[in-house]
Structure 1
């Protein structure tokens, strides 16, 4: 057969032959498509920034990956066969970047044919800044209230500082990092416990995340309390003398532990006036003696010295005699009184 005859035979009924050829291709492609299935995965997105820069804005925590392969292969693919990352190691300048999402597959997936992989989104936009390291204080996060009448006097953390690494703008503003919760509820004494770094900003890397040793010091709370109208007890007055007027009461401010002051009431001898040196009628300035328990400090008092007027007890007055029977004098009033300062 000559070349001319061959060409004529090929071109004979060529429209029908082209249609058959295209139909065959279509049937082949359709058959291949019918054998391919797709499967979607949500893959965690890891940021690799081992160089001199760090990203500032938040990036997605995961990306969507769609894998197409034949049904036999697609059923064997798991999340462990896929990984997604953003690589910032080659970036050296500050600026805004669209970073491509890199997908890595396991070795066994490389043997699948046919196979197609698509990722959404393909790029992640973020701002890049120079990386900086700095030491900042570690602040314990105290939770709860100590027991009534107590307070936290000091909190110590060992180590007291931690190194943080991140973008320059974030690290420069950071003064301290906080720990996980340290419970102090109903505490009445010092105690130690352990706590770790509490992740607040995922853009910040803390080199030593703990555990840290936290020591909490607890002490009784102090309180100042005013006692108004505390009576003054006159003592050791000569039996022949009597007070013309009652000694005015005194206002006193005491300082001490809250628990002690809340239950304390001044005793009858809390404030006394010693009249033992008075031997005859007259007006005298007598210093007061304050007999409050030693656990209290006297912060303020309305006065330290009292002016008293004394006179002889009338011997011929029947009314005075009767009154004296009903109202004992200063010496009789003080009998049996405990001058130890009173109980708290």
Structure 2
């Protein structure tokens, strides 16, 4: 059995041997560690994508100037770790809740993980940019009107009459300095091309200012009434007829012709013919000779509206027809 002195004699030369050329041995160990780390790093992969940037502020303030809408994300790790991660499970945000007065502030971009990102081990996440400078202003709301925005042209001969928007007004929110200049918003384009009948559609409100938000779902119900374009046309030198005069009488008009002006749909005028329009005086109530002032009536298709008529009344001279008897030259 070895004694304590024997052990000392054995350990001493060992320590001396280990300490021999110790600087070179330390460098060798450091190089080995570095080679191991570099080897592990060479086995890691990178994945790049972008996620929306959310801004968290005090409820009385809101962003008042442009800022990056997307943040670049870099995931670093082994393939089995980084590729199963869903992009929606990485959230980028800046926290400005501690600021309660309007102004311009600088804040770091932070990452919030959820879902698949929480289960990933040995995961490195970096962002670009690292920080954001952002202006804040007082948050206000305002009720404004909505106007329809049209494109295209209706069928020839038709026009858009009245239309309704439901809702006709919406509430928008945004920074005080920007909201002051907004008086109304337009819908997205409502296509009219080729239409000739009433129609309804759902259309989104056009919001060209990302710093403004619209309460509700941002959708508008549109209903439009389409009608024929109106046209007015004159008809001249229309003979005035004598209607239903007793056969024992004959009538002579002071004015034998007149004119009318009618209004109707643009396409409807293409179907009307000159013989479809006439003027007459009604004589069924006359039972004796003499001079009468009678109203002149106009006949035209029911889809038209009478705008003007000339004459409105006319003098007619009624005389008795001559009776001729045949035989012995008598009359």
Sort the TM-score into its range (normalised by shorter chain): 0.5 to 0.7
More strand by share: 2
Aligned residues of 1:147 and 1:187 also touching (Cα < 8 A): no
Any stretches of 5+ residues in structure 1 without a counterpart? 2-7, 310-344
Matched, 1:173 2:165: no
The answer for the alignment partner of 1:208 in structure 2 is 216
Matched, 1:155 2:164: yes
- What is the TM-score when the length of structure 2 is the normalising length? 0.64
Matched, 1:291 2:293: no
Aligned residues of 1:51 and 1:88 also touching (Cα < 8 A): no
Offset of residue 31 of structure 1 = 3.0
Task: Note the aligned Cα RMSD (angstroms).
Answer: 4.9
CA–CA distance in 2 between the matches of 1:250 and 1:99? Answer: 86
* Structure 2 SS opposite 1:65: strand
CA–CA distance in 2 between the matches of 1:229 and 1:126? Answer: 79
Q: Is the alpha carbon distance of 1:239 and 1:77 closer, same or farther for their aligned partners in structure 2, counting shifts above 3 Å?
A: closer
The answer for the alignment partner of 2:202 in structure 1 is 195
For residues 116-165 of structure 1, give each alpha carbon's deviation from its aligned partner in whole angstroms, at most 9, with x where no partner exists. Answer: 321112233444322111222344556773795564334252x4332221
Aligned residues of 1:85 and 1:102 also touching (Cα < 8 A): yes
The answer for the alignment partner of 1:342 in structure 2 is none
Matched, 1:42 2:50: yes
Q: Is the alpha carbon distance of 1:290 and 1:87 closer, same or farther for their aligned partners in structure 2, counting shifts above 3 Å?
A: farther
- What is the TM-score when the length of structure 1 is the normalising length? 0.62
Comparing 271-280 and 170-179, the one that deviates more: 271-280
For residues 101-123 of structure 1, give each alpha carbon's deviation from its aligned partner in whole angstroms, at most 9, with x where no partner exists. Answer: 22122487568665432111223
Aligned residues of 1:274 and 1:286 also touching (Cα < 8 A): no
CA–CA distance in 2 between the matches of 1:150 and 1:112? Answer: 62
The answer for the alignment partner of 1:91 in structure 2 is 99
The answer for the alignment partner of 2:320 in structure 1 is none
CA–CA distance in 2 between the matches of 1:137 and 1:120? Answer: 40
The answer for the alignment partner of 2:142 in structure 1 is 134
The answer for the alignment partner of 2:129 in structure 1 is 121
CA–CA distance in 1 between the matches of 2:206 and 2:277? Answer: 60
The answer for the alignment partner of 1:33 in structure 2 is 41
Q: Is the alpha carbon distance of 1:118 and 1:154 closer, same or farther for their aligned partners in structure 2, counting shifts above 3 Å?
A: closer
Offset of residue 95 of structure 1 = 3.5
